[in-house]
Chains A and B, each alone.
Chain A
Amino acid sequence: MPGPLRRLLVKPELGALVGAVVVFAFFAVQSETFRSPRGIANWLDPASTLGIMAVAVALLMIGGHFDLSAGVMVGTTALTVGIVATELRQNLWVAIGVALLLALAIGFLNGWLVTRTGLPSFIITLATFLMLQGLNLGLTKLFTGTVTVGGIDDVPGYGAAEWVFASRVSVFGAEVRVAVLWWLLFTALATWVLLRTRFGNWVFATGGDDVAARNVGVPARRTTIALFMTTAAAAWFVGTTLAVRLTSVQANTGIGQELIYIVAAVIGGCLLTGGFGSAIGASLGALIFGMTQLGIPYLRWDADWFYFFLGAMLLLAVLANRLVRRYAEAARR
C-alpha cells in the first residue's frame, strides 16, 4: 500500500465518515424533508445528546475502559436536579450544582474501584449501573410518591437554565437546539485534549498498555479516574439538559442508553481493547444514529428496521476496526 493511503487508513474516524456520508446520501436522495434545514435540525437533536455522551465514552474507551453506568447516570443526575429543585425547594442552579457534585463523586468511585481492584471496568460499572437503577426508582418514589419528578419549570432560576441548556438558535431559517452547539464544542474540546495535550497522550498510553505506560512515568491511575469523572460529567450535562428541556423526568430515564453510547464510539473507530479511537469518530457515530433514527420514519418505513440497521453498522465497524488494528500491530519484517 502506498504511504498516504496507509496513513489515511489508520485514521480512526475514516470509517465513520464514509458511513455518515453514505447514510446521509441514502436518506437525502429519497426524502425532501430529510434534507431540508428543518429536517436537518430534527435529526441533529437526537445526535447531539447522544453525541455528547459518545464523545466522553470514546475517551474512556481509548483509555481502556467501559462505563455501563453512563446511561443510568443521565437519569440519576436529571432526577437529582428535579428532586433538589422541586422537593427540597432549592434554586435550580443549586440543584444543577448538587447533581454535578454527585455525578463527579460517582465517576470518581467508578474509577477508584477499577484502578484499585484491577477488576474489569465492565463488571464494576455494571454493579454501579444496577445500584443507580434501584436508587433512581426508590428515591424518586420516596420523595414524590410517583415514578416522575415534574414541575421543574416552576422553580426560580429556570429562565437562565433554560437559556443555557434548552434554548433554540436560528441557523439558516431552522431552529436548532442549543444542545447541538454544545455537542460541537465538546467534540472539538475532546479532540484537542486527546491529540494536543499531555493528558491526551496519557489516555492513549493507558489504554494501549497501562504497565508500559506506568514504567515510563505516566500517571495511569489518575488518568483512568479522570476519564471516569469526565464520563460522569457528560452524563450530568445531558441529564440536566433533559431535565430542563422536558421539565419532568421519569425514574427510568437513560436505562439502556449505555450500550448505544458504546455503539456510537465503536462505529467511530474506537477499539474495544483500548488505545485507539477518536472523539470526532464517536460524534460521527452519533450522527449516523440520529440520521437513521429519523430518516427511517421519513421514508415511512417501519421503525423496527432501525435496530437491524444499527446492528449491521456496528458489525461493519468492528470488522473494519479489526483490520486497522492488525495493520498497526503487524511488525514489518
Chain B
Amino acid sequence: MTTRPAAVPSRNEPGNAAPLLELRDVGKDYGTVIALDGISATVRAGEVTCVLGDNGAGKSTLIKVLSGVHRADRGQVLLDGRPVAFGSPREALDAGIATVFQDLAMIPLMAIWRNFFLGAEPTKGRGPFRRFDSARAKDVTRRELAAMGIDIRDPDQPVGTLSGGERQSVAIARAVHFGARVLILDEPTSALGVKQAGVVLRYVAQARDRGVGVVLITHNPHHAYPVGDRFLVLNRGRSLGEFGKSDIDRDELTRLMAGGAELEALAHELERPAD
C-alpha cells in the first residue's frame, strides 16, 4: 500500500465492519501502457468516496474496473470483503454496483417514466396479455423522484426537456431504486453550472443518506470536498493517497490534485509584476 491508512470513522456502521467495496493495489494496463497502478481505496455504506484527478489521471479506467467493463490486471477488488471479478457491467449491476455514466443512458425523446424503467419494465397480466404496467411505472417514478427531493411537474414529459442537472438526478434516482448499494458517478457535475451542480450534489448526499456507498469521480475539488467523506487523489495512473476528511482541507486537496508545486509555480508566473 502506497497510501496512508484511511482511519475515517464511519457514520453508519462500526469502523471494523468490512467495507462495501475495497480496492487493494489494483492495476490495469492497456498493452504496454500502465493506466493504473497500486490503487487502494474503500467505499463504505452511507459514505461518499471521491476520486479526484486531472485529465488522464486514470479516473475513467478506474470506473471501468469498478463497473465491470474491464477486469483489473493486478490487485484485488473486494465486495463485502470477498474478492470479485466482474466480466460485464451486467454482472456488476447484479451485484449492486450501478454506474451513472456521463451520457446517462437515457433516451431524450422518451418520457421520464419510460426512461426510468427502461430495460426493467414492470409488467402485469399473463401470456399474450402481459403488458407494461404503466400506471405503476408512473407512480413509482413520481414517488422515487420525490423521495430524492426531485420535483418533476409531469413524469410524461420527455427526458430531453429536462436540464442537465435534472437528468443526472433522474439517473441517480433510477440507480438507487434498482437496488444499487454502490453508486458510481462519472463526472456528474462537469458539464453543469454552479447552481445545477449544487442540485446534483444535494442528490448525491440524498443517496448517501439512504445508505448507498457513493463513488464520486470528479476533477473539481470544490464539488468533492463538501460532500465527500474520503478522497482518493490520482495522478498519471498512480495514487497520491487516500485521505479522510479530517486529514486534509480543501486547499490542500486542490493543491495536491493540481500537482501541488506545479500550480504554485504557475501562480507565481502569472502574477502581475508588483507595482
Contact = CB atoms under 8 A, between A and B. Distances in A.
Contact of A328 (B120, B132, B158): B158
Contacts of A197: 130-132
B24 to A, nearest CB: 28
A202 B119 CA distance: 7
A333 B163 contact: yes
Interface string A198-219: 1011101100110011011110
Contacts of A7: 154, 156-157
A3 interface: yes
A200 B132 contact: yes
A328 B107 contact: no
B109 A328 contact: yes
Contacts of B149: none
Contacts, number: 88
B154 A198 contact: no
Interface string B114-138: 1001111101000000111010000
Interface in A204-243: 204-205, 208-209, 212-213, 215-218
Contacts of A213: 105, 107, 118-119
Nearest to B154: A3
Given A197-B132, A331-B161, A215 B105 contact: yes
B109 to A, nearest CB: 5
Contacts of B121: 198, 201
A329 interface: yes
B164 interface: yes
A116 interface: no
B130 A201 contact: no
A331 B110 contact: no
Contacts of B160: 328-331
A208 B132 contact: no
Contacts of A271: 109
Max count, chain B CB within 10 A of own CB: residue among A3, A208, A325, A330: A208
Nearest to B160: A329
A82 interface: no
Contacts of B131: 192, 196-197
A217 B119 contact: yes
A260 to B, nearest CB: 25
Nearest to B110: A204
B118 A331 contact: no
Given A201-B132, A328-B160, A208 B108 contact: yes
Contacts of A300: none
Given A198-B132, A216-B119, A328 B108 contact: yes
A328 B89 CA distance: 30
Contacts of B104: 212
Contacts of A196: 131-132, 134
A318 interface: no
B109 A204 contact: yes
B218 to A, nearest CB: 21
Contact of A201 (B106, B114, B164): B114
Interface residues of B, number: 32
Nearest to B123: A198
Contact of A216 (B118, B153, B157, B161): B118
Interface in B146-199: 153-154, 156-158, 160-164
A50 to B, nearest CB: 26
B271 interface: no
B106 A212 contact: yes
Nearest to B90: A217
Nearest to B133: A196
B269 interface: no
Nearest to A274: B109
B103 interface: yes
A325 B106 contact: no
Contacts of B123: 198
Contacts of B103: 212
A188 to B, nearest CB: 14
A7 B158 CA distance: 10
A186 to B, nearest CB: 15
Contacts of A215: 89, 101, 105
A276 B110 CA distance: 8
Contacts of A10: 158
A92 B105 CA distance: 49
Contacts of A216: 105, 118-120
A10 B154 CA distance: 14
A111 B109 CA distance: 24
Given A10-B158, A218-B118, A328-B160, A208 B134 contact: no
A330 B130 CA distance: 35
A328 B156 contact: no
A275 B159 CA distance: 13
Contact of B107 (A3, A192, A212, A331): A212
Given A197-B130, A216-B105, 7 more contacts: A196-B131, A196-B134, A204-B109, A204-B114, A218-B119, A275-B110, A331-B161
11 contacts: A195-B134, A201-B117, A201-B118, A205-B110, A205-B118, A217-B119, A217-B120, A271-B109, A329-B109, A330-B160, A331-B160
Interface of B: 89-90, 101, 103-110, 114, 117-121, 123, 130-132, 134, 153-154, 156-158, 160-164
5 A-B pairs with the lowest CB-CB distances in the bound complex, closest first: A217-B119, A208-B107, A216-B119, A215-B105, A329-B160
